[in-house]
Structure 1
């Protein structure tokens, strides 16, 4: 039998554990509520999308009509929103990014696509051909729920291909696709599987992907980080999702599965990818961080997961890897501060990297 002091300690420990569980459940409920809530705004412009799955239109923000000629534009920045689908906020962040760089809005164009859910469109009684996905589907390249099953990756293909039109963009030299948080998950997977880059490259347009603070990455085999620079096969019996899409290549959506996975992996190593990682993005609990076993197999928090992923790629591709990490000091999980930082500006505008920004 426990002594009275020991009993009190056991009771206190139990109470603390129950309180922590309740707090975690409440936080998870609040997170789900915010993710599922309708967006405050649906973007005002539309881009026609024709894909194997069908037709529709992609909602987006841009500072000028997407169909108007822009003869002075040399650089287009496509910024993908986070899990709240708040493309309007990310469009504003793009403007702040240009201001921080002192870049000409005449020569640099910000475009923020939006991947609304069916609930978003019902809320605003939008009954046209605007594409809408499930809360999670757009992040993974899944088919849209309406009006036709178009992959969110096919929608991004259509957006990139739109800029491969020399009648509208005769001076365009670079398209940079940027994502922060959930948007970075989209951009990283799209950099693996996206089909539009080859056409733009043939026409002399450089494509670059900037992946900022995602919760997880897609791996090409079953190895996951054990310690810095060390990898071991993940226990797929305990966590089968660890090797399934979007964490691995198994059971990928049709857009990805219809392509050869080995070819996708080899091509990804050659694509121009910059991983922007906030050095203070080390919180294990907040900001919608993925805490599933599949994500936890990649590391305890976002900074660790990003550094481990680059180590993984360097080991897998000891030669020919066209990718790098840029760490942003003093910044946690904050899209505005990340993209408007001196480190980001240097990476995005091909300027000398400040000594305060560690690169690998």
Structure 2
């Protein structure tokens, strides 16, 4: 009996010891200030036109001086959606980078593309910033991104920078996916590696006029939806989209897009959509599939990857991963094990 009591006591002590030795991740510092409405450091950008309005880029490190930052090897720039929650998306990205042990070598950035004129913001009606369009005073959101990168990131201040991660959820995913296809910034800065994460947008830019038909179980050229292949759903009229560039050419876009390092991240429970137009519905199996649960963001993400795998086989560098149980939730994506695994591989 005494031996049994001693054994139980010894076992209890062992359990306490091993529990105390288990790894417990540190709680990341709360970067957003106490009221949650502002971040500590930021850059204000405009395109040097006649407007005095600016777009704000919030940063985890002060870029407003000439102090070199040799420790920084990567930038993770995250674009908000239509909830305009740049603070919480910044925080989610910061926490995940922190958790994978890369915060000391990574610059976190979150731009705020405003839908109103408060605080002298550059602003867009109809949230057209998500497709690179001009603001009300003629400033393209794509060009504002490039202005920030060229003036404050691609400089001697960051001599060891290697990785440019451009990430967006929902409308932010629309922004990133279209920018990945259209930009020529990669050609201008070949010493950097650009990588893009597109998380559950409601629609995508397709690079040819084929769409998968659930009814026919094959790719078809739709005939029942005018404009299904016009920008921002496709490339049919992309040369007329001059807000960003006046030299856009569909054949060049196709070629460069296939070589872009694009990752689609999708929550398996993102079973709604914010675009029920025939143009968007054709990205989920057909214009007649109007039930959002049958033509969801998740389904459209799977069909986007299937498009590249089916029609471009080994000619593309696009990939997809799923996050089980996550609905339309940026924090759910960015704080997931799957996304943090991607970060740990790509922040080096």
- TM-based fold match above 0.5: yes
List runs of 5+ in structure 1 lacking aligned partners.
1-39, 352-360
Quote the residue 1:106 is aligned against. 104
Q: C-alpha offsets along residues 187-238 of structure 1, whole Å, 9 cap, x if unaligned?
A: 000001123222222xx21110001111111112221111397211112xx4
CA distance in 2, matches of 1:52, 1:194: 21
Quote the residue 1:320 is aligned against. 315
* Structure 1 counterpart of 2:279, from 294, 297, 306: 294
Quote the residue 1:230 is aligned against. 218
Tell which deviates more after alignment, 47-56 or 210-219.
Answer: 47-56
Are the structure 2 counterparts of residues 350 and 220 from structure 1 closer, same or farther at C-alpha, using a change threshold of 3 Å? Answer: same
* Structure 2 counterpart of 1:244, from 217, 230, 234: 230
CA distance in 2, matches of 1:112, 1:214: 18
CA distance in 1, matches of 2:109, 2:319: 24
Quote the residue 1:25 is aligned against. none
1:192 lines up with 2:181 in the alignment:
yes
* Structure 2 counterpart of 1:262, from 233, 248, 251: 251
Residue pair 1:278, 1:329 contacting (<8 A) in 2 also: yes
Runs of 4+ in 1 over 6 A off after TM superposition: 51-55
1:346 lines up with 2:321 in the alignment:
no
Deviation at 1:42, TM superposition (A): 7.4
List runs of 5+ in structure 2 lacking aligned partners.
1-35, 285-294
User: Which residues in structure 2 correspond to 1:57-96 (within 5 Å)?
Assistant: 57-68=54-65, 69=67, 70-96=69-95
CA distance in 1, matches of 2:99, 2:245: 36
Residue pair 1:219, 1:248 contacting (<8 A) in 2 also: yes
CA distance in 1, matches of 2:341, 2:76: 15
| TM-score, length basis structure 2 | 0.77
Deviation at 1:184, TM superposition (A): 0.3
Secondary structure class of the residue paired with 2:211: strand
CA RMSD, Structure 1 to Structure 2 (Å): 2.5
Are the structure 2 counterparts of residues 164 and 41 from structure 1 closer, same or farther at C-alpha, using a change threshold of 3 Å? Answer: closer
Are the structure 2 counterparts of residues 167 and 284 from structure 1 closer, same or farther at C-alpha, using a change threshold of 3 Å? Answer: closer
Secondary structure class of the residue paired with 2:227: helix
CA distance in 2, matches of 1:58, 1:229: 45
Residue pair 1:48, 1:58 contacting (<8 A) in 2 also: yes
Deviation at 1:90, TM superposition (A): 1.2
* Structure 1 counterpart of 2:47, from 28, 46, 50: 50
Q: C-alpha offsets along residues 149-192 of structure 1, whole Å, 9 cap, x if unaligned?
A: 12111112223324553421011110100001110000000001
Quote the residue 2:162 is aligned against. 173
Quote the residue 2:113 is aligned against. 115
Residue pair 1:160, 1:196 contacting (<8 A) in 2 also: no
Q: Which is higher, the Rg of structure 1 or of structure 2?
A: 2
1:155 lines up with 2:140 in the alignment:
no
CA distance in 1, matches of 2:124, 2:257: 26
Are the structure 2 counterparts of residues 214 and 97 from structure 1 closer, same or farther at C-alpha, using a change threshold of 3 Å? Answer: same
Question: Paired residues, what number?
Answer: 294
Quote the residue 2:10 is aligned against. none
* Structure 2 counterpart of 1:337, from 325, 332, 336: 332
Are the structure 2 counterparts of residues 292 and 64 from structure 1 closer, same or farther at C-alpha, using a change threshold of 3 Å? Answer: same
Are the structure 2 counterparts of residues 51 and 265 from structure 1 closer, same or farther at C-alpha, using a change threshold of 3 Å? Answer: farther
CA distance in 1, matches of 2:63, 2:217: 45
Are the structure 2 counterparts of residues 344 and 51 from structure 1 closer, same or farther at C-alpha, using a change threshold of 3 Å? Answer: farther
CA distance in 2, matches of 1:267, 1:74: 25
* Structure 1 counterpart of 2:123, from 132, 157, 165: 132
| TM-score, length basis structure 1 | 0.75
Residue pair 2:43, 2:57 contacting (<8 A) in 1 also: yes
Secondary structure class of the residue paired with 2:254: helix
Deviation at 1:342, TM superposition (A): 1.2
Q: C-alpha offsets along residues 315-360 of structure 1, whole Å, 9 cap, x if unaligned?
A: 3322331111111122121111111111111222217xxxxxxxxx
Secondary structure class of the residue paired with 1:45: strand
